[in-house]
Each structure stands twice: as structure tokens, then as C-alpha cells.
A and B are shown apart, each in its own frame.
Chain A
């Protein structure tokens, strides 16, 4: 304290008595980047944001003009869709956040009750539009669990191949938009460039770039195209090279590290409390991957690692996505060698319509085909919950069947919906500039949130 005062006196003396003439150097707080003092209790704050209203909030410590409510969204370039945040600011520091969602509510659970089971993937695929194949997969797996059928091995392998490629493309978009939000605009261009490779393969296989409706109850819609190995080999060759470029650009980049390290901390306990799974949980130092612990669709036969980081900040949430891309590519490489020959959908007359050639020969086949596509197949009554590991966390599907050909109730547990609850926790008491990085690190897809 004393030294500081001495120094100030010294400076004042030299400033006012120097030959250049005196200038006023009375101390000012401007430019000091010191954060406000942290609160003592380190327990998990249940930040529901219930007190944030569209009014100014008064408190004892601060005068009313220091706190203000800023409305971010719903139309905002960096909220990843139509998310709206009511942010309570004290100067530059975010004090409380309230996410307001529902701007993309599509009523898909209601629509799902009107569509037959074989139409269901058309509906669910549009929920999480960055990882559509996972949505189809989870719906199909749940229907198959209710039907108590097992799809052929080739169908399982195709499903793994497609979903893991989808994980790569989804993470690439997450890296791209995350980079764009923080100001690394080249990252945006790069991420979308590499994604095109995978989308081209998807287009070749399923006919669409997004919203494929490719994985259906009972198998997949079509077999892989001829020479698919060539395309996949190209993907496997190019993407790791480009990932190295990303690392060169960002990994040791001091600006990137400065923006992301020790920002937006989300600990394992907080993840548990809010039910957050996926990369955010793994970046907080807890290894939990449904592919390893509760395997689906035969993924236990593939050899891969679950990346784990312990810093639980935005940087490790970014880094873990890059590492997961490598692991997914490993799985894709293995499917190329091990994919079995055989049928790509189940040969069960109850579920699968007869092939096209049979329709010209047999009246019964025609009737059967017509019945399946108008009425749909009946599913025995019951309830089922199946979860898969989507790029954003646990993606679950809960179906209640009443024995008809349409689900009585179809509910999708979207990972983004849950992950969004962590926003008030990780944004609280950090500068507003970090808020955008925090949103990008959670990688919410609003279609999945609002459904």
C-alpha cells in the first residue's frame, strides 16, 4: 500500500514538475480490467434467473444505473439460431442470465403422434438439424425395441458409419460457428469447406444433404452407393490433414488461448446437477460416453478411445470436439474393413415392404406394399426409452405405443435443451465478451431445444 502511494507521489511530482509542463495524472479506473470480487460460496448456484424481469433491478450495493438488462436475440448473429437471452449487466460484467426459448417451437411431438412409425424419422430428423442421422437412429432404435426385432448386421454397420460421419460434420460446424462467434472468421470458411465433403457423401447415399430420412425402423432406406469406399477414403485422407491446419492456426495461438482458457467454467458437479452430458461433461474431466457404457447398434465392436480433458473451460470444450473427430474417423475407418455383406434392412414381412420387382408379379405383394405405406405397421403396446450419444450429449427417445400404427406419445430428450440450462451458470460473473464464447462452446442447436 505504502509503496503504491510513494510511487504515485513520485509520479505526481515528476509529472507536475517536469520540463514538458504539467499534466494531470490523477488516477482513473478506466482501462483497469479487474473483475469484481467473487462471491464466497462455491456451491452450485441454482441460477434459474427467475428474478430477471424486463425492469431495472435495484440492489443495495450498486446504484440503479449500473445494472441494466440487455436483450440478446432472438435474431442475433451469435446466439446459434433464435435463442433469446435476457442478460443483466453490471458494467461489462454479466450478473444474471435468463434464456428465453420457444422461438422455433414446431410442435414436432404433436406431429409425431399423427405420423405412422415408418414416417417418424421424417419428423425427428428435422429436430437437431446438425446431426439428423442421430435423431433418425434413436427413433428407429426405440421402435425396434418396441417391435422386439433385430436389424441385420450390415444395417447396423451402415448406421454406425453414417452416424459417425455425421458426428464429424456436426463437430465441424460447431468448430466453424464457434470460431466465427469469437472472431476467427477463417475457421468458419474452413469448417464449412470440409463439411461439404461429408455432405456430398450423404447426398450420394441418401439423396439429401441434410434431413436425410435414411435410417428407418427396420434398417436403412437404401444400400450404400457403388464405390462408397472411394469417397470415404477421401474423407479419411483429407479431414485429418485439415484438422492439422486448424491446430496450426488455433492451438498455440495466443489470442485464441487468451479468449478461451479459464473462461466459462462448467464443473462435473454442475454437469451432474443440470443433467449435462456429451462433450461438455467429458471436458470437465468425467469420462462418460454412451457408446462405451451403454452401447447401441453394435458400436461395442469397434476400437476407439473416449477423449478426456480436465480443464472444464471453453478451450477444453473446443479441443475435445477436435479430438472426437479423430476418434470418429477411426470408427469410420474400421467400418470400411469390417462391414458385412447381406441385407440392409430386416427381412420381416411385417415391417419391410416387398421389393419393387415383386409388385409387378404378385397381387398380394402389391396389396401388402399398399397396406404398409397407407396404414403402417402395428407396434405392440408398451413403453420404451432408448438413448444414443449424439454430438451434443445424450439423445433419448421415449415412445408410448397403444398398439396402433402411430405412437401414442413420442418424446425426444434433446441434449441441447438440457445443456442450455447451464448458460446462466457459465455466463454468470464473466465479461459480456466471454458470453458469446460460452454459448458457442455449449453448441446448442435451437431446433433440438424447441422441437
Chain B
């Protein structure tokens, strides 16, 4: 099928966008309950490997996507921002769960009321905690967003 005779044409934009979606490595940023569901999404039954994202990178330099899984406290906020700043462009952020999206049920002194106060968020995944299916839906929505968006962000 892919013999050298075959040619298909596309635009650079489309090729770049497609390649960005196909192996989007997340940085390990598990904070609380949602981290367990994120790990469950990465394990056998839900298997994030089919989107090419099973490699959770410990180093932010090698990651494209930050899944903020869990509540972000005031003490953790600078760390989160630093990890985000260390990631190489292009980068995306998923706020997983009610706590990281809005502060959730803990509207008090200790928590940042929504991670979008610190970093720009692309996708909010609702739930407390969101099941692996919800997370995967969030990831697929992000793929759609990338396929429709600009390549220069």
C-alpha cells in the first residue's frame, strides 16, 4: 500500500496537527484522587496506549500535555506553574476533575479555586473524580481542538 509510487497530498498544517495528536505524551502530574483514575486510564482495561499516550513522562521537558489531576493547593501552585513553564512548546493542559477546574466542593483558604488562575487550560473534564472514560473523552476533545486549531499558538 505504501509503495514509493503512491503519493498523497496534504497541507503542512494538517500533517503537523495530525502528528501532534497521535503521540501526545503527558507529564505525570498526579495530585489527588483523580491521579488514581488517571493511572487506571493508563492501565490494562482502558489503555491510553491506543492514543500513543501511555508514556507518562516524569520530566516536563519531554511532555506535551499536562493533566492536572486533583486539587491544587496554595503551596502546590508555584510548583505547578514551574512544571508548566518547563514544558516545551507546543503544550496543552487538561484540568481533570471538579477541584482543578473550579475548586470543587472545597471553597476555602487552602485551595486554588480553579487551576486556570495559574495556567491556561484547554479542556475541563467534569466529575469527582472523572472516570477513565471521561478522561478519554476529554483527550479526544483535545485532539479535535488541535485538528481544528492553528499550528502556531
B36 touches A107 (CB 8 A): no
For residue A193, which residues in chain B have a CB less than 8 angstroms away from its CB? Answer: 43-45
Q: Which of A108, A195, A211 contacts B129 (CB 8 A)?
A: A211
Output the least CB separation between A426 and chain B (Å): 23
- List 17 A-B pairs, Cβ < 8 Å: A75-B79, A77-B28, A103-B76, A103-B79, A104-B70, A104-B71, A106-B108, A107-B106, A111-B108, A129-B33, A129-B129, A192-B39, A192-B44, A192-B45, A195-B40, A196-B45, A209-B129
Output the least CB separation between A275 and chain B (Å): 24
B104-131: contact bitstring with A at CB < 8 Å (1 yes, 0 no)? Answer: 0110111100000000000000001101
For residue B35, which residues in chain A have a CB less than 8 angstroms away from its CB? Answer: 81
For residue A103, which residues in chain B have a CB less than 8 angstroms away from its CB? Answer: 73, 75-76, 79
For residue B43, which residues in chain A have a CB less than 8 angstroms away from its CB? Answer: 176, 188-189, 192-193
Q: A74-B76, A210-B129, A211-B129 are in contact. Are A107 and B33 (CB under 8 A)?
A: no
B75 touches A107 (CB 8 A): no
**Does A440 have its Cβ within 8 Å of any Cβ on chain B?**
no
Q: A76-B58, A105-B73 are in contact. Are A82 and B108 (CB under 8 A)?
A: no
Output the least CB separation between B135 and chain A (Å): 12
Q: A107-B111, A210-B129 are in contact. Are A81 and B106 (CB under 8 A)?
A: no
Q: A129-B33, A209-B37 are in contact. Are A122 and B70 (CB under 8 A)?
A: no
B58 touches A77 (CB 8 A): yes
Q: Which of B36, B40, B76, B129 contacts A82 (CB 8 A)?
A: B76
**Does B16 have its Cβ within 8 Å of any Cβ on chain A?**
no
B37 touches A210 (CB 8 A): yes
A190-219: contact bitstring with B at CB < 8 Å (1 yes, 0 no)? Answer: 101101100100000000011100000000
**Does A130 have its Cβ within 8 Å of any Cβ on chain B?**
yes
Q: How many residues of B contact A (CB 8 A)?
A: 33
CB contacts under 8 Å to A, within B57-81, are: 58, 70-71, 73-76, 79
Supply 7 further A-B pairs (C-beta < 8 A) apart from A75-B79, A195-B40.
Answer: A103-B73, A104-B76, A107-B110, A108-B106, A110-B108, A196-B40, A209-B131
Distance between Cα atoms of A111 and B111 in the complex (Å): 11
CB contacts under 8 Å to B, within A43-99, are: 74-77, 81-82
**Does A123 have its Cβ within 8 Å of any Cβ on chain B?**
yes
Residue of A nearest to B45 (CB): A196
Distance between Cα atoms of A199 and B45 in the complex (Å): 12
Q: A192-B45, A211-B129 are in contact. Are A123 and B75 (CB under 8 A)?
A: no
Seen from chain A, the residues whose Cβ lies within 8 Å of a Cβ on chain B are: 74-77, 81-82, 102-108, 110-111, 122-123, 126, 129-130, 173, 176-177, 188-190, 192-193, 195-196, 199, 209-211, 446-447, 450
Residue of A nearest to B74 (CB): A105
Q: A77-B56, A129-B36 are in contact. Are A106 and B110 (CB under 8 A)?
A: yes
Q: How many A-B residue pairs have CB under 8 A?
A: 96
**Does B92 have its Cβ within 8 Å of any Cβ on chain A?**
no
**Does B29 have its Cβ within 8 Å of any Cβ on chain A?**
yes
For residue B58, which residues in chain A have a CB less than 8 angstroms away from its CB? Answer: 76-77
Q: Which of A106, A192, A210, A446 contacts B111 (CB 8 A)?
A: A106
Seen from chain B, the residues whose Cβ lies within 8 Å of a Cβ on chain A are: 28-33, 35-37, 39-40, 43-45, 56, 58, 70-71, 73-76, 79, 83, 105-106, 108-111, 128-129, 131
Distance between Cα atoms of A325 and B43 in the complex (Å): 21
Output the least CB separation between A243 and chain B (Å): 17
B32 touches A129 (CB 8 A): yes
Q: Which of A108, A189, A446 contacts B44 (CB 8 A)?
A: A189
A211 touches B128 (CB 8 A): yes
B83 touches A75 (CB 8 A): yes
For residue A210, which residues in chain B have a CB less than 8 angstroms away from its CB? Answer: 33, 36-37, 129
B33 touches A106 (CB 8 A): no
For residue A129, which residues in chain B have a CB less than 8 angstroms away from its CB? Answer: 32-33, 36, 129
Residue of B nearest to A130 (CB): B36
Distance between Cα atoms of A188 and B110 in the complex (Å): 32
B31 touches A106 (CB 8 A): no
For residue A75, which residues in chain B have a CB less than 8 angstroms away from its CB? Answer: 28-29, 79, 83
Distance between Cα atoms of A107 and B109 in the complex (Å): 7
For residue A76, which residues in chain B have a CB less than 8 angstroms away from its CB? Answer: 58
B37 touches A123 (CB 8 A): no
Q: Which of B33, B76, B110, B111 contacts A211 (CB 8 A)?
A: B33
Q: Which of B36, B75, B76 contacts A173 (CB 8 A)?
A: B36
For residue B111, which residues in chain A have a CB less than 8 angstroms away from its CB? Answer: 106-107
Q: A74-B76, A76-B58 are in contact. Are A104 and B31 (CB under 8 A)?
A: yes
For residue B30, which residues in chain A have a CB less than 8 angstroms away from its CB? Answer: 81
Distance between Cα atoms of A189 and B44 in the complex (Å): 6
A122 touches B105 (CB 8 A): yes
Residue of B nearest to A122 (CB): B105
Output the least CB separation between A230 and chain B (Å): 20
Output the least CB separation between B99 and chain A (Å): 8
For residue A123, which residues in chain B have a CB less than 8 angstroms away from its CB? Answer: 105
Output the least CB separation between B72 and chain A (Å): 9
